[in-house]
Structure 1
């Protein structure tokens, strides 16, 4: 419990924590697979408190997590930003396991099997399970505990899914362990009555004071003498201010890859060439899928619904089969066909039976049951009776499968119903369910239209890319040193840009896409050297629509910045200190012969000003700005008392309190105490892990792999 005591005593050092895992991780991947054993340096991703982390272990977890993210988003691919976010999440989870695991063992914190079961299928089901879409009744949108039990039952036949579910349970256990650990710390957070009273007074007590101020700018910089010894003394005394992480600065030029006029015309001509086939096609969805850079939109639009005003007008003034375009929109050339115009209902009255595999009935048996029920219904069997007996949708089963009136767009199988017609039975399978449905009535029909749109992105051709690449290659070949790089830029009138303070995990450079690769390679490049891709041995990086060449201008080692690197900052601080001392000496001399603030102002030829209603906890002082030392002194002075010179942020001050507004009888100490206590408890949840991480020994070598 030593660490608990340490944290209780160091609340001021705590920083933020991120806990938990993505929704539906139980379906999507095992983020907690296996332990980490010591490996060769070749595969060492990191070392955490002396324990090696194997790159291969981490990579497997990352791949599983990426699959989770795909399934959660319903997409087959992820953009780079999402991939980076997932990578960071897996890293944080790994750190938590290693660091928090040691703390749990030391503190004796654990979660029993019975406790975990209660979180999954018991009386205290975890919110992640309650909120999971897979366990919601598709019609009511409410959590259905039977779906959890049925899902777990199916896992017996799917080892991979079972492994992932167990990993999800492990994540729930990890969260519960965290919460227990935090609760133990929270019990050590207590606010005394005297502290609460003082805090309440500081919030409500206000003072008015007169002041004189001499800004530091009144003294010229050249009137202040600064020696190297002064700089060194200040640097050593304030060395923590100059702590730095490993980082670098780089400069780069980019050769933009933009479509040429010939590229644009070729893309337009390509779209035009598809018009005859599009016009004659009877299966527009398939034709669009085969020829377009954007997917087919199956939606039927009513008048005024389409975001393109021109298309919205054409849909209701032209004939089926008419073509509009090519036209240019959002970086694409497009051509649109008015595919279908129908009188269609907005709403339908529907009933359904929902089937899903169970522990006793596998997928094949469920399909056989669906076929059997469909035949019975087609033969005249009572829909309500079968729905009550067989439907997994308990809410509608009690009503004979009746969903009531629904908007067409709400129902996944609405097109099948509309194609079949009223009173016709349709069977509609999905990945998880088989729906058997019948449309009892249709709502009012309105004219609606469907478009088939072929889109082609306006992008540079390979020839254009080659021409730009040759230009970049020529520059690289002729300017292959740091000095020549800068000379070439100047001679050719190119624009050189900077990217400063990049750290080993930085991913972004303003104006460049997918900049991670050049940043990573920069950390394997010496100062004043051209950055080379170690795989291709080329200085040219293809980053989105740019070919980029860069050089490392400065590198910073982890630790403390050398005095020479921060000399300008130290000089400003030392100069300010010396000016403050000179001004305080001047004010002290004047104070010796002044009995009040007005006489002091007159002696210094400085105007006496007033600041009113100054509270200790206020962000700033009226008329002065951010001057916490002035606020503190003002609260401590008695009425009419004159202060000594105060070294402020912007000036040296002398103040005289003219009025003190003490808190009234309505000082609510109990409420103040509750507020402070809530703040402490919140900080525990937010900050504990970060202080543990700060004190852990972490050798992060991810840059060797990512």
Structure 2
């Protein structure tokens, strides 16, 4: 039971947090979306293979557990959830297309290879698992012990909570093991593909020189923006020529849509603010007059405070800044508020019961005693306490009860923000009152904890207080008013052309988003716009949606419309014309501006030419773009242009992305790096291998004809 005891060694607070998180994980929102009575639902296909929502959900759950174990996070933000979904989909796509390729050539990963990787313990994926030794390195013996114990578990002798934790940890390991196999298969395949890459001495020397050579450069430039677009004529033939030259850059790998949308944020009204202030005045009186034995946790819940009550005093570092700023104005058992805080748009009141000294961080060891018999718990814990006080090794005592007893640091910031009551408050308050080296036996509801404080850091003042913080929220009346106004507008403007024509006159902003794709999750960076997104990819061109409620607190109203559906494949010339027009304009401006450089043999001769800007660029390098103040942009071609020049020789007029320029080398030297042929060849091989792998994956991705319709469910 070593692994579970390692988790237990963090203390009962962590056990409770993990237990709640796992339960929430199992019963999460995404799980409720997939119901058995709905039949098989699909969220996409890869190379003709349909991916069911259930399969994706299972992978999502597994990877979410990995992230929780690896990061210590228990809850994810919407953005983090979206990142996890994207990572799971990416892994499923890569695994499917690689397995098809490797199966065709008979390439496999054996169980022996996986065992060898686990035994070596150096694979990066193993470094963030719970199966680490005291120095944070992966411990294969630790893993094997856990797996052996798990396989021999007698569930009838286990609590439901412990069993859930064992199951979660086992599923976590299976996911890690599966990823080791997938990563190794991918690595073997890419190694086979890139085996023919052999960097030669000439390439190695050239790579070194382009990396280390640096030049101080004098430049003369004219930005294309200095020439009015209206003075340059662009013909249909020019656009067609540019289209054919850049066609490969105009390929849509997935279907996307050009959309318009109206986003209406809902803000609290003056009446909403006044109503909350009146309520806060009543709540402040209740808090002030409450007897000392009041259940303040319940009182704050009824008050709908954003700051929960805790029986464990909090340091200033974990209190709201607006509260900390006012603490000096309040004495013991004093009251302050209500007051308005403009930084989070809230009304606040607080009651300070008193202060005490506690630690910023505590390092402690713990042994848990939970036999199910109170008298036996007390007898055993008293015996452990007495032995520890006599000088017995705490770790050796813990080992007798199959626990590690290893010291762990507990920073105050890890528990102070939470609402802590009951047993958790009892043992945390006891810890904060103990001195370094002290040993204590604490009786809790389900057993005893024997603590030893090994070390402490920074004794700080802590505050026992109850805080009511309420952000001003919009009322139903305010929300209904905004909805009704937008509804009237939409009812009288039912087409996209109507929206374009009348939105501004009705004080609505119609926003354009070209190339919107389903994996983007949110429309216009507004959270929880899933319904609007789903509608967008089911609607046809020109359609206007109903009103959607969106935002993290349903604090946005949104109307969306489809302007154009862009299928997979090359973009039509008419769709690319706008982007190509700028490219053609700049090319024509380059030809027009070239004459201003005629006859000049050096930068000095150009100093008085109309519109020319002179810049000195320090340490210009082949691999790095140079920043030009004239165009306020970076130009990638400067380094290559001057790399072959002799000193004091000027280039011919060069076509940059944002300007026309000439350059003259002033000085040349090298970054202080010695040439190492073997290292340089290895560097080239690494870069080329990555580029080939990325190009290959992209091609395989395209050939797999991937359909991503996760938006329908996830």
Q: Deviations over 1:92-122 (max 9, x none)?
A: 12112212223444565544434434555x4
Does 1:374 pair with 2:381?
A: yes
183, 198, 204: which one aligns with 2:206: 198
Contact 1:587–1:645, Cα closer than 8 Å, also in 2: no
Looking at structure 2, the residues matched to 63 and 381 of structure 1 have their Cα atoms a distance apart, in angstroms, of 43
Instruction: Quickly say closer, same or farther: Cα 1:277–1:119, change in 2 above 3 A.
Output: farther
**Structure number with bigger Rg:** 1
Q: How does 1:195-594 map to 2 (within 5 A)?
A: 195-202=203-210, 227-244=235-252, 245-275=254-284, 277-278=286-287, 279-282=290-293, 283-289=295-301, 291=303, 292-301=305-314, 308=321, 311=324, 314=327, 318-320=331-333, 322-329=334-341, 330-342=344-356, 352-353=366-367, 370=377, 372-377=379-384, 384-385=391-392, 387=394, 389-392=396-399, 413-416=427-430, 425-427=441-443, 435-437=449-451, 448-510=462-524, 512-531=526-545, 538-543=546-551, 544-574=554-584
Does 1:168 pair with 2:176?
A: yes
The residue number in structure 2 matching 1:701 is 709
Q: CA deviation at 1:172?
A: 2.8
Looking at structure 2, the residues matched to 367 and 582 of structure 1 have their Cα atoms a distance apart, in angstroms, of 93
604, 617, 625: which one aligns with 1:619: 625
Looking at structure 1, the residues matched to 291 and 82 of structure 2 have their Cα atoms a distance apart, in angstroms, of 45
| SS of residue in 2 equivalent to 1:171 | helix
Q: CA deviation at 1:277?
A: 4.7
Q: How does 1:667-678 map to 2 (within 5 A)?
A: 669-670=675-676, 674-675=679-680, 677-678=682-683
Contact 1:507–1:515, Cα closer than 8 Å, also in 2: yes
Contact 1:354–1:392, Cα closer than 8 Å, also in 2: no
User: Which deviates further from its counterpart, 421-430 or 206-215?
Assistant: 206-215
Q: CA deviation at 1:526?
A: 2.6
Looking at structure 2, the residues matched to 238 and 81 of structure 1 have their Cα atoms a distance apart, in angstroms, of 35
Q: Any stretches of 5+ residues in structure 2 without a counterpart?
A: 1-21, 27-37, 156-162, 416-423
Contact 2:351–2:466, Cα closer than 8 Å, also in 1: yes
Looking at structure 1, the residues matched to 113 and 661 of structure 2 have their Cα atoms a distance apart, in angstroms, of 62
Q: CA deviation at 1:87?
A: 0.9
Question: Aligned-residue CA RMSD in angstroms?
Answer: 5.5
Instruction: Quickly say closer, same or farther: Cα 1:56–1:210, change in 2 above 3 A.
Output: closer
Contact 1:284–1:339, Cα closer than 8 Å, also in 2: no
TM-score by length of 2: 0.70
Does 1:692 pair with 2:697?
A: yes
Q: CA deviation at 1:391?
A: 0.5
Q: Deviations over 1:157-199 (max 9, x none)?
A: 4594444432332223333434444555565443211222334
Instruction: Quickly say closer, same or farther: Cα 1:383–1:197, change in 2 above 3 A.
Output: same
Contact 1:211–1:597, Cα closer than 8 Å, also in 2: no
Q: CA deviation at 1:239?
A: 1.8
| SS of residue in 2 equivalent to 1:280 | coil
The residue number in structure 1 matching 2:81 is 83
Q: CA deviation at 1:438?
A: 5.9
Paired positions, count: 641
Instruction: Quickly say closer, same or farther: Cα 1:205–1:373, change in 2 above 3 A.
Output: closer
Contact 2:625–2:638, Cα closer than 8 Å, also in 1: no
Q: CA deviation at 1:318?
A: 1.7
Looking at structure 1, the residues matched to 262 and 574 of structure 2 have their Cα atoms a distance apart, in angstroms, of 29
Looking at structure 1, the residues matched to 374 and 85 of structure 2 have their Cα atoms a distance apart, in angstroms, of 39
| SS of residue in 1 equivalent to 2:679 | helix
| SS of residue in 2 equivalent to 1:262 | helix
Contact 2:214–2:669, Cα closer than 8 Å, also in 1: yes
Does 1:151 pair with 2:149?
A: no
The residue number in structure 1 matching 2:17 is none
Q: CA deviation at 1:530?
A: 0.7
Contact 2:365–2:408, Cα closer than 8 Å, also in 1: yes
Does 1:61 pair with 2:59?
A: yes
Instruction: Quickly say closer, same or farther: Cα 1:210–1:173, change in 2 above 3 A.
Output: closer
TM-score by length of 1: 0.71
The residue number in structure 2 matching 1:358 is none
Q: Deviations over 1:27-64 (max 9, x none)?
A: 9999xxxxxxxxx9973432222323223211232244
Looking at structure 2, the residues matched to 619 and 304 of structure 1 have their Cα atoms a distance apart, in angstroms, of 44
Q: CA deviation at 1:571?
A: 4.4
Instruction: Quickly say closer, same or farther: Cα 1:468–1:93, change in 2 above 3 A.
Output: same
